[in-house]
Structure 1
Amino acid sequence: MAQGLLWLGLVLLATLQAQVQGSSGSLIPAPALNKIPLQPDFKEEQFQGKWYVIAIAGNSINKRKQGQAKMYSSTYRLLDNTTFSVTSLLVRNGLCERLMRTFVQSSKPGQFTLGNIERYEGMQSYTVRVVSSNYDEFAILFFKKLFKNREYFKMTLYGRSKMVPDDLKEYFILFVKSLGLTDNHILFFVPTGQCIDDD
Structure 2
Amino acid sequence: MGPWRSLWVLLALLRALQSQTPRPIPVSYVTRARTRVTPWLVAFHQEQFQGEWYVLGLAGNSFRKEDRRLLNPYTATFELNPDNSFQVSYSMNRGPNCRTWSYRLLASSRPGHFTVDTGTGGQREDVLVFDSDYRTFAVLLSRKVSHGREVLRVSLLGRTWTLRPEAMDKFICLARAHHLSNDNIVFPEVIVWIPAPNSC
Aligned to 2:6: none
Q: Which runs of 5+ in 2 are unaligned?
A: 1-12, 192-200
Report matched runs for 1:132-171 at 5 Å: 132-171=131-170
How far apart are the structure 2 equivalents of 1:144 and 1:186?
16
Matched, 1:29 2:30: no
Q: Offset of 1:146 from its aligned partner?
A: 1.5
Q: Which runs of 5+ in 1 are unaligned?
A: 1-13, 193-199
How far apart are the structure 2 equivalents of 1:30 and 1:82?
30
Q: Which amino acid aligns with 1:34?
A: T
Residues 70 and 18 of structure 1, relative CA distance in 2, 3 Å threshold:
closer
What secondary structure does 1:177 align onto? helix
Q: Offset of 1:71 from its aligned partner?
A: 1.4
Deviations 1:127-184 (A, max 9, x none): 0001000001000000101223321001111000111122321332122112211110
Residues 46 and 147 of structure 1, relative CA distance in 2, 3 Å threshold:
same
Residues 72 and 30 of structure 1, relative CA distance in 2, 3 Å threshold:
farther
Q: Offset of 1:191 from its aligned partner?
A: 3.4
How far apart are the structure 1 equivalents of 2:182 and 2:18?
15
Report matched runs for 1:41-190 at 5 Å: 41-63=43-65, 65-68=66-69, 69-92=71-94, 94-118=96-120, 123-190=122-189
What value does the CA root-mean-square deviation take over the aligned residues? 2.3
How far apart are the structure 2 equivalents of 1:142 and 1:167?
17
Q: Which amino acid aligns with 1:173?
A: I
How far apart are the structure 2 equivalents of 1:135 and 1:17?
36
Residues 87 and 177 of structure 1, relative CA distance in 2, 3 Å threshold:
same
Deviations 1:70-113 (A, max 9, x none): 21110000012420000000123542111010000112121000
Q: Offset of 1:31 from its aligned partner?
A: 5.2
How far apart are the structure 1 equivalents of 2:27 and 2:146?
16
Instruction: Give the TM-score normalised by structure 2.
Output: 0.77
How far apart are the structure 1 equivalents of 2:190 and 2:40?
28
Q: Report percent identity of matched pairs.
A: 28
* Runs (4+) off by over 6 Å: none
